[in-house]
Amino acid sequence: MKKSISSVLWEALKTFLLAVIIALIIRTYFFQITEVYGQSMYPTLHNRDRLFTNRIVYTLSEPARGDIVILDAPDRAGSYYVKRTIALAGDHISIKDGVVYRNGEALEEQYINGNYTEGDIDTLVPPDTVFVMGDNRGNSHDSRSPDVSFIPVEDIKGKAIFRIWPLDGFGKIE
């Protein structure tokens, strides 16, 4: 029995629409591609890098120290930041003489650009928040700024897992 052209087209349209709906659900709730704008994460990430971002990870677990996260920019509605989680709720964070201390211990931060971190901070990270900074400390608008400050965990939209562009930098992000 032959199918009419209209029934074949209807089946193709239904298949296409189902694929689009599934792709939108995956992109909205599970994974997305995030583009880096600016140099705040240099040398780890560069302007225009494209990152594979896991959007579901923080519904199943809490952010960890050192995670590179995508978050809603608290000072620019509709924008996002890519930053590194430095301290978690309950951690004591301080910056003195260019050195970052977490719970009294100086951090060994091989990933930063340079070896000096500006700021004079001595505070406790409040519950349900994190303290984030860019790896390029001289060129990063982050938790050291009063208009950014502590980031509510609910404002973290995902964890950067690996770089997919440019191809010569393809791989896991540390």
pTM (predicted TM-score): 0.81
Catalytic choice (2, 40, 94, 159): 40
- Annotated active-site residue in 3, 6, 7, 83: 83
β-bridge pairing 171-172 and 151-152: unpaired
Q: What are phi and psi of 12, to 5 degrees?
A: -65, -40
Is 145 known to be catalytic?
no
User: Edge-to-edge strands of the sheet including 121-124?
Assistant: 105-106, 99-102, 92-96, 121-124
pLDDT tens per residue across span 29-55: 677 888 888 899 999 999 999 998 888
Task: Compute the C-alpha angle 88/140/125, nearest 5°.
Answer: 20
Q: What is the mean pLDDT of the chain?
A: 88
Q: Kindly provide the b/e burial profile for residues 64-94, where b requires at least 16 CB atoms within 10 angstroms of the residue's own CB.
A: eeebbbbbbbbeeeeebbbbbbbbbbeeebb
Q: Across residues 2-18, what is the average pLDDT?
A: 80
**Active-site residue flag, 7:** no
pLDDT of 48 reads 93
Q: How far is CA 84 from CA 2, 125, 157, in A?
A: 60, 15, 13
Give residue-wise pLDDT tens across range 94-120: 999 999 999 999 999 888 888 888 888
